[in-house]
Amino acid sequence: MDTQVVNSGSTDSRAVAPRSEADSSAGTDLIPNGSGQQADMPALIRPDSRLVIVAGLGMMGRLRLALTDLADTWRLRRLVATLAFLDIRLRYRGSLLGPFWLTLSTGLMVGALGFVYSHLFHTKLHTYLPFLSLSLVLWNFINALVTDGCLAYTSNEAMIRAARMPLSLHAARSVARNVLVLGHNILVIVVVFTIMNVWPGRVALMMLPAFALWMIDGLAISILLGGFCARFRDVPPIVASVMQIAFFVSPIIWSPEILAHRGIGIVLLNWNPFYALLEIVRAPLLNQMPTLATWGSALGYSGALVLVTAVFFTRARSRIAFWI
């Protein structure tokens, strides 16, 4: 076959109007060239695009770019999901149980802690174990979200330096990966609830808006900590120790009722962002309605986090590639 013919043919088929932004979503513009093409000629054609990068933009210009970054990540959500899925598969490639190793270890931990602490706290296993399994699984999720978020950019250095892609994509990938892990761990909760035969009523649906809030917070904290940890390399261990302290001072293995009538409870419960955020998901699943005050502080802490992240990402987005 004549190279020239294939060449002009594929050039003609690229009748695409110029776009205003880089890389449009429409895969339909890429026209496969049929099977009879020569090996040296690529068959798929990139859609036209236009990219203008100007230095020294004002705050509004930078904010627009930060929002474009988020919109691009949304457009690439299939890539985010695939990356997260491959992350999990890679982590457990060659292991017998695969990701269910996590489920098993969480289950063992719930079992062991359950027996010890139900004795220590003089509570009944029947009520304590469902509480503990739920708390531990949810806390593991929060903890992994935060510690993985720290590495969102530094662990993807090769990808970031290879091509222009939205930076929030790496944060979204970390969140998606941990949601998949949570999906495996839910099995522990289901098993415990079945054994103890405790099931929440319709109030459990209240965890849905709460979980949506978690997703927003998770993305925000990954963008924020990811960038911060790329700039300051001693932040990840600091974050890890903060999370460890938070685990002990928040009502995760101990029930908030223990502190209800003591002075210290006001500090540990009312001024603890982890408590408010945990409670809006946990309480409905234990058949309790979270109070308005709890929801209020969860929303307040989330709002503050999103605001800080927005300011940080608007200012620092273009610098992150230099930091890693």
Partner 1 sequence: MTRISVEHLSIDFPLYHGESRSLKKTVFAAASGRRLGQDGRKRLVVQAVRDVDFELHSGDRLGLIGANGAGKSTLLRTLAGIYEPSGGRITIEGALSALLDASQGMNPDLTGRENIRLRGLFSGLNPKQIEQLELDVAQFAELDDFINLPVRIYSSGMVVRLGFALATAIRPQILLMDEWILAGDAAFMGRARARLESMVQGAEILVLSTHAPDVVMQWCNRVIWLEGGRVRGDGTPHEILQQYLPSDQFAQASMALAARTKREADGMANQQAA
Q: Where along the sequence are the contacts to partner 1 (CB under 8 A)?
A: 3, 7-8, 10-11, 18, 22-28, 30, 32, 39-56, 75-76, 78-79, 82-83, 86, 90, 93, 158-165, 228, 231-235, 238, 318-319, 321-323
In the complex, minimum distance from the CB of residue 67 to partner 1, in angstroms, rounded to a whole number: 16
- In whole angstroms, give the CA distance from residue 170 to residue 83: 9
In the complex, minimum distance from the CB of residue 311 to partner 1, in angstroms, rounded to a whole number: 17
Count other Cβ atoms within 10 Å, centred on residue 271: 10
Of 166 and 218, the one with the shorter C-beta distance to partner 1 is 166
What tokens appear for 45 in the block?
């054609």
In the complex, minimum distance from the CB of residue 34 to partner 1, in angstroms, rounded to a whole number: 10
Of 166 and 290, the one with the shorter C-beta distance to partner 1 is 166
Of 10 and 118, the one with the shorter C-beta distance to partner 1 is 10
Count other Cβ atoms within 10 Å, centred on residue 115: 13
- In whole angstroms, give the CA distance from residue 176 to residue 215: 9
R_g of the chain, CA atoms, integer Å: 24
- In whole angstroms, give the CA distance from residue 83 to residue 265: 42
Interacting residues of 141 by C-beta distance below 8 A, sequence separation 6+: 178, 181, 182, 185
Mapped onto helix, strand or coil, the DSSP state of residue 16 is coil
Of 109 and 235, the one with the shorter C-beta distance to partner 1 is 235
Of 193 and 315, the one with the shorter C-beta distance to partner 1 is 315
In the complex, minimum distance from the CB of residue 33 to partner 1, in angstroms, rounded to a whole number: 9
In the complex, minimum distance from the CB of residue 281 to partner 1, in angstroms, rounded to a whole number: 31
